[in-house]
Amino acid sequence: MSEVHEGGCLCGLVRYRAKGQPLRTLVCHCTFCQKFTGSSYNVESMFPDWGVEFYGEMPRRYSHPSDDGSRQAHIHFCGNCGTTVSLTFDRSPGIRCISRGTFDDPDWVCVTANIWTRSAQSGVALPAHIDCYRSGRIALDGTPQPAERFDHPVMAIDDA
């Protein structure tokens, strides 16, 4: 039987089951993630869409255009308490990002990379020994981007 991890929103109305291991777990420092979380970054675990099952109340959705307006980012949240439970993106069909903090046990997943570090807020430490990308892992044209790795934590303001 596949490994299953459950989670949900703050008030408990929206619940989900995530099956298997995430494809990756990213800390995203982009300004979009800063705005929608109201924090310094977002931590998201990526799963195939078929590997996430919602039960209880279904999340509501807010769609936001990309910078160039050609694609949408979809924030899935509890209509009662407002917790962002997941994200989907037009640019990544078939992938659902689960907000790590909504897992009943968020520590079961390990962060695999930090992205958009060039937008990281002052006071944020970029970790040692984890891939850090100044923008996304892959450019819009599909070109893989180079990662940086630090021997010790680096303050984001120092990395600019």
The letter for the amino acid at 151 is D
Residues 11, 137: Cα–Cα separation, whole Å: 34
pLDDT exceeds cutoff 60 at 159: no
DSSP of 27-93, one letter per residue? EE--HHHHHHHTSS-EEEEEEEGGGEEEEESPPEEEEEE-TTSSSEEEEEE-TTT--EEEEEETTST
Residues 122, 5: Cα–Cα separation, whole Å: 33
Burial of residue 115 (CB within 10 Å: 0-12, 13-18, 19+) is: buried
Tell the CATH topology of 4-159: glutathione-dependent formaldehyde- activating enzyme (gfa) (3.90.1590)
Cα R_g (the chain), whole angstroms: 16
- Where do the structural domains in the chain lie, given as residue ranges? 4-159
Reported as a single tens digit per residue, the pLDDT across 22-38 is: 999 999 999 999 999 99
Of the candidate ranges 9-18, 61-70, 147-156, the one whose mean pLDDT is the lowest: 61-70
Longest dimension (CA), the chain: 46
Reported as a single tens digit per residue, the pLDDT across 69-99 is: 678 999 999 999 999 999 999 989 999 999 9
Q: In what order do the strands lie in the sheet with 4-8?
A: 4-8, 14-19, 52-56
* 137 CA to centre of own chain: 13
